[in-house]
């Protein structure tokens, strides 16, 4: 007979954690500049103080560890407004949940189910608290679909809309919702937040924007990414899906500037009914829209321009802001020329705009001096000149892409000084120190004074750009993130990487050179901004190499790990505790003084590895202690041979309890001991210390592991 029950008197260590996550959405500047704080938030945990700010990742794992927050969007009868229902699925160990609605339309009524207001329920930024009982609480409200702005930037046109609800369809931002929560746990790991936006009816949502209405979706996987193009029925696109995908894939291959987003979502915005403020807009990490009237592949290609923005992972101070639009404009023209979609004359016309006033007299590092989109015009010419000089002086070992890759690895917002440092470092990859310093000096003159570059001619272009330069890029291998240590040695999920104290993160990175010249790579592993390891080397054209990093985490908390431009969030917790499922013996009856084999089944129901001790007891007295370490979702059996009494077989008969006791629970069974006298099973006379002391006869254990990963 076997039974399982809570361990009487056991005291489970309980961690009470409070997490605050805030997601705010900002729009990109006209023309598609990356937003400075789009989908960026922060999480603060009481046991560690704080965690780095960043987009809320898609979270995998057991539902016991994840709060699911879902925004459902719907069209309404009122133009310029869409409906939102924010639903929460809350794990059992969450004790409190508070949400703040940041996108409520003025005077909108909020219908609550399972939430109670903390402040004025109808105002922007209203706060709501879960009642602690409703299984799936929700809030339903209206949010403004229309976002307007004055036209500005080289991609600006005469309209005012950046997002719009047009009645039959809507192209909108996703709602902004902040959340805070508290929870308890017995070392099962940290509770995290997963955000999702859906359109239950006709429509599609990405992380930063959504389209509501009838549409077609086109998909292609190429160049290490998945591209989704949403074409509304109301749109009449000039560019075919194939043409759009081609420019995305070409730009992805050419831009070796760091990690690529797994998915890019593009929307063809109908231009017939709406006066858009810009020709295209990029928001968030990898979401963009472009007017349906825009062709793909020209020297002024908006599709390529907005795609380049998805590859700019840095943030900027004012002095460094120029590089964002400058590089996107330069690359859109350069890639069209290299594909043969534009000739040198068209390329020249695009960049030579930077020679004309008033843009030519602007100081790029001082936005207050800009007039008529100087960052797009003079900035593009200067970016092109820096690209040309780097390729020329390094024999193709470096280019503007080398500079952008360095900027993408920055932890803090970049300044113009950071850009100049990156230019000098890139030049040093293929030139001597004096030449590298001279390239920097020229870049400084062109960005900090009113001087401007002169457009080069066809021959100079062929000399610098004729051969593809080195294009060194990095990406994590398919199975490149592993947890190693005493518990496991296997690939783990990346969003986030969950480890326990004492485990190591092992990362495998592929460095490849897809260009036409030899280039250098310089990879570093940093933890919370501190560099802890470095790998560097040289790669021939077309070559690749594999570098491995390993770092051990000895303290709980949340860490930001960077490898080149790859970013990982690593959550480190104390190990979970193994659970005792059952115990049995190889026979139900045995003479006193003989042995039985006790077999305990232990398991780990948590999403983290478990650590603890298993104790076998006979009649309540310790017989053997065995350390137990289990991977997440793993189960094992542990065998021990134990004595039931001494050599004196005249003790008589009776039932003896054999138990397997774990950190939080136990299981037990009984064995009948055969003899001539009564047997006490509680250590009293008849089964006292002289007889009841149990020792371990055989120290070997069969630890049979059966992996049962829970996802």
Residue 464, SS3? helix
Higher pLDDT, residue 687 or 673: 673
Residue 602, SS3? strand
The two three-digit tokens of residue 648, written as one number: 């004196």
How many CA atoms lie within 13 Å of 353's alpha carbon, on the beta-carbon side? Answer: 21
Closest CA to 536 of 519, 550, 551, 552: 519
Q: Is the pLDDT of residue 60 over 50?
A: no
Question: Given this model, what pLDDT does residue 120 score?
Answer: 55
Question: Given this model, what pLDDT does residue 224 score?
Answer: 83
The two three-digit tokens of residue 5, written as one number: 């029950």
Question: CA-CA-CA-CA torsion for 126, 132, 138, 142, nearest 10 degrees?
Answer: -10
Helix (H) and strand (E) counts in the chain: 10, 42
Cis ω for the linkage preceding 452 (within 30 of 0):
no
Interatomic CA distance for residues 73 and 221, integer angstroms? 27
Q: Is the pLDDT of residue 707 over 80?
A: no
Cβ–Cβ < 8 Å for 698, 33: no
The two three-digit tokens of residue 284, written as one number: 């968030």
Three-state SS sequence of 574-615: CCECCEEEEEEECCCEEECCCEEEEEEEEECCCCCCEEEEEE
Interatomic CA distance for residues 28 and 36, integer angstroms? 8
**What is the maximal distance between C-alpha atoms in the chain?**
112
pLDDT band at 258 (very low <50, low <70, confident <90, very high): confident
340 CB-near residues (< 8 Å, 6+ apart): none
The two three-digit tokens of residue 120, written as one number: 């004025």
By DSSP bridging, strand 66-75 and strand 589-591 are unpaired
Cis ω for the linkage preceding 535 (within 30 of 0):
no
pLDDT tens digit string along 332-386?
999 999 988 888 999 999 999 999 999 999 999 999 999 878 999 999 999 999 9
> What are the residue ranges of helices labelled H in 376-453?
378-393, 400-408, 416-427, 433-448
Q: Would you give the distance in Å from CA 284 to the centre of its chain?
A: 13
In our burial notation (b when 16+ CB lie closer than 10 A, e otherwise), range 520-545 reads bbbbebbbeeeeebebeeebebeeee
pLDDT tens digit string along 179-223?
999 988 755 567 888 889 999 989 999 999 999 999 999 999 998
Q: Please name every residue paired with 100 in a beta bridge, in sequence order, or none if there are none.
A: 127, 178
The two three-digit tokens of residue 223, written as one number: 């160049």
Q: Which domains does the chain have, with CATH numbers?
A: 16-209 (no CATH), 314-466 (1.10.390), 472-573 (2.60.40.10), 576-707 (2.60.40.10)
pLDDT tens digit string along 557-605?
999 998 877 889 999 999 999 999 999 999 999 888 889 999 999 999 9
The two three-digit tokens of residue 168, written as one number: 């039959």
Classify residue 268 as exposed, middle or buried by CB count within 10 Å of its CB (0-12, 13-18, 19+).
buried
Closest CA to 252 of 466, 610, 514: 514
pLDDT tens digit string along 92-104?
889 999 999 988 8
Residue 61, SS3? coil
Closest CA to 634 of 558, 579, 708, 530: 708
Higher pLDDT, residue 81 or 386: 386
Residue located via tokens 């470092």: 425
Q: How many Cβ atoms from other residues are within 10 Å of residue 408's Cβ?
A: 18
φ/ψ (deg, to 5) at 332: -60, -40
Closest CA to 578 of 641, 620, 636: 636
What is the pLDDT averaged over residues 314-336? 96
pLDDT tens digit string along 139-166?
999 999 998 876 565 555 567 899 999 8
Q: Is the dihedral of CA 564, 568, 569, 573 positive or negative?
A: negative
What is the pLDDT averaged over residues 470-482? 86
pLDDT band at 15 (very low <50, low <70, confident <90, very high): very low
Question: Given this model, what pLDDT does residue 147 score?
Answer: 87
Q: What is the mean pLDDT of the chain?
A: 83
Question: Given this model, what pLDDT does residue 449 score?
Answer: 97
pLDDT tens digit string along 409-455?
998 999 999 999 999 999 999 899 999 999 999 999 999 999 999 99
Question: Given this model, what pLDDT does residue 99 score?
Answer: 92
Question: Given this model, what pLDDT does residue 35 score?
Answer: 31
Residue 688, SS3? coil
Supply the DSSP string of 264-326, one letter for each residue: EEEEEE--SS--BSBSEEEETTTEEEEETT--SSSTT-HHHHHHHHHT----B-GGGTHHHHH
Single pTM value for the model: 0.72
Higher pLDDT, residue 634 or 77: 634
First to last CA, the chain: 33
């Amino acid at each position: 007979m076997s039974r399982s029950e809570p361990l009487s008197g056991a005291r489970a260590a309980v961690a009470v954690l409070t997490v605050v996550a805030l997601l705010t959405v900002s729009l990109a500047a006209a023309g598609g500049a990356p937003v400075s704080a789009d989908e960026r938030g922060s999480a603060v945990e009481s046991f560690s103080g704080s965690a780095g700010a960043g987009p809320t990742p898609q979270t995998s794992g057991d539902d016991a560890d994840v709060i699911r927050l879902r925004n459902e969007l719907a069209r309404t009868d009122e133009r310029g407004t869409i409906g939102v229902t924010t639903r929460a699925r809350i794990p059992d160990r969450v004790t409190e949940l508070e949400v703040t609605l940041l996108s409520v339309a003025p005077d909108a009524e909020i219908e609550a189910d399972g939430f109670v207001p903390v402040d004025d329920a109808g105002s922007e930024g209203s706060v709501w608290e879960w009642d602690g009982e409703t299984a799936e609480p929700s809030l339903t409200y209206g949010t403004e679909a229309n976002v307007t702005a004055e036209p500005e930037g080289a991609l600006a046109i005469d309209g005012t809309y950046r997002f719009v609800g047009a009645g039959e369809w809507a192209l909108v931002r996703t709602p902004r919702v902040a959340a805070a929560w508290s929870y308890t746990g017995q070392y099962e790991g940290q509770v995290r937040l997963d955000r999702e936006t859906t359109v239950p009816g006709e429509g599609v949502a990405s992380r930063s924007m959504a389209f509501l209405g009838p549409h077609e979706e086109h998909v292609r996987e190429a160049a290490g990414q998945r591209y989704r193009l949403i074409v509304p029925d109301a749109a009449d696109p000039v560019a075919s899906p194939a043409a759009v995908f081609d420019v995305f894939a070409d730009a992805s291959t050419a831009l070796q500037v760091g990690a690529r987003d797994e998915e890019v979502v593009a929307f063809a915005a109908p231009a017939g009914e709406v006066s858009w403020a810009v020709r295209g807009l990029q928001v968030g990490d990898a979401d963009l829209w472009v007017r349906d009237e825009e062709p793909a592949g020209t020297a002024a290609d908006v599709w390529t321009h907005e795609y380049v923005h998805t590859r700019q992972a840095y943030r900027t101070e004012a002095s460094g802001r120029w590089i964002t639009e400058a590089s996107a404009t330069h690359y859109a023209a350069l890639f069209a020329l290299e594909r043969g979609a534009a000739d040198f004359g068209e390329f020249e016309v695009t960049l030579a705009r930077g020679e004309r006033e008033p843009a030519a007299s602007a100081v790029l590092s001082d936005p207050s001096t800009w007039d008529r989109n100087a960052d797009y015009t003079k900035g593009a010419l200067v970016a092109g000149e820096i690209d040309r000089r780097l390729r020329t002086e390094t024999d193709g070992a470096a280019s503007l892409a080398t500079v952008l890759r360095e900027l993408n690895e920055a932890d803090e917002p970049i300044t113009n000084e950071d850009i100049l440092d990156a230019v000098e470092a890139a030049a040093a990859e293929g030139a001597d120190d004096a030449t590298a310093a001279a390239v920097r000096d020229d870049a400084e003159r062109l960005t900090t004074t009113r001087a401007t570059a002169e457009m080069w001619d066809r021959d100079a272009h062929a000399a610098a750009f004729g051969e593809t330069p080195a294009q060194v890029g990095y990406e994590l291998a398919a199975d490149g993130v592993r947890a190693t240590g005493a518990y496991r040695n296997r690939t783990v999920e990346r969003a986030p990487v969950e480890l326990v104290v004492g485990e190591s993160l092992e990362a495998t990175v592929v460095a490849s050179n897809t260009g036409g010249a030899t280039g250098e790579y310089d990879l570093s592993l940093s933890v919370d901004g501190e560099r802890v390891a470095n790998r560097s080397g040289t790669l021939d054209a077309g070559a690749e190499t594999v570098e491995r990093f390993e770092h051990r985490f000895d303290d709980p908390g949340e860490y930001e790990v960077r490898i080149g431009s790859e970013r990982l969030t690593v959550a480190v917790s104390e190990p979970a505790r193994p659970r005792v499922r059952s115990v049995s013996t190889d026979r139900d009856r045995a003479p006193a003084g003989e042995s039985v084999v006790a077999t305990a089944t232990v398991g780990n129901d948590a999403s983290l590895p478990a650590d603890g001790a298993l104790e076998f007891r006979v009649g309540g007295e310790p017989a053997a202690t065995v350390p137990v370490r289990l991977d997440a979702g793993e189960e094992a059996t542990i065998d021990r041979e134990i004595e039931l009494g001494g050599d004196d077989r005249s003790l008589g008969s009776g039932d003896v309890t054999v138990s397997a006791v774990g950190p939080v629970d136990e299981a037990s069974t009984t064995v009948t001991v055969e003899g001539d006298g009564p047997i006490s099973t509680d250590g009293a006379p008849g089964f006292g210390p002289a007889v009841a002391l149990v020792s371990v006869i055989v120290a070997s254990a069969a630890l049979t592991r059966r992996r049962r990963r829970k996802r």
